[in-house]
């Protein structure tokens, strides 16, 4: 895929991913995030949350993965990613990652992609925008 092949409206994903509580705890430990809301259901509930949640950076990393999976081995790289955390993301659930191309910029060979993470009820949990730059 080259920049000339990129079309506004093209879908990216969906990718389904199941993130376990153990995986979330491992992410938190590996990245020095000691807050109990990332590791313990009961303590998270005491903070008013529905249970333990994914760190925001972990959600960002999953959305980044959606974009790099789409880029695969094509001559392109992600140069920008912005995310907004709308609803706490809970582990032990299937998360759906998807997006679509919203703009192309021929002068810079860049395209803009709206991306989001939703749960199985189609509730948008995290939304974002990525910019991908092609070298060809």
Cβ proximity to another protein, 30 vs 122, nearer residue:
30
Least distance to another protein, CB of residue 3, Å: 15
Q: Which of 5, 46, 68, 108 binds another protein (CB under 8 A)?
A: 68
Question: How far is Cα of residue 25 from the mean position of the Cα atoms in its chain?
Answer: 18
Nearer to another protein, 17 or 43 (CB): 17
Two tokens, residue 53: 């949640």
Report in angstroms how near the CB of residue 69 gets to another protein at its nearest: 7
Taking CA 32 as the corner, what is the angle to CA 31 and CA 38, rounded to the nearest 5 degrees? 85
Strands 93-105 and 76-85: unpaired
E strands in 20-75? none
Nearer to another protein, 1 or 61 (CB): 61
Q: Which of residues 81-110 bind another protein (CB under 8 A)?
A: 81-85
Name the minimum Å distance from CB 10 to another protein.
Answer: 20
Where does the chain show beta strands of DSSP type E?
A: 11-19, 76-85, 93-105, 110-118, 124-134
Nearer to another protein by Cβ, of 6 and 54: the residue is: 54
């Amino acid at each position: 895929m080259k920049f000339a092949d990129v079309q506004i409206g093209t879908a990216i994903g969906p990718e389904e991913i199941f993130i376990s509580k153990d995986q979330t705890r491992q992410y938190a430990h590996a990245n020095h995030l000691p807050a109990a809301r990332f590791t313990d259901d009961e303590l998270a509930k005491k903070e008013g949350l529905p249970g333990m949640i994914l760190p925001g950076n972990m959600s960002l990393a999953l959305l980044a993965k959606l974009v790099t999976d789409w880029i695969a081995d094509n001559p392109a790289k992600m140069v920008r990613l912005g995310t907004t955390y709308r609803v706490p993301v809970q582990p032990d659930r299937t998360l759906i990652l998807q997006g679509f191309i919203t703009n192309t910029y021929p002068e810079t060979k860049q395209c803009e992609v709206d991306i989001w993470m939703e749960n199985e009820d189609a509730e948008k949990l995290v939304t974002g925008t990525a910019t991908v730059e092609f070298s060809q």
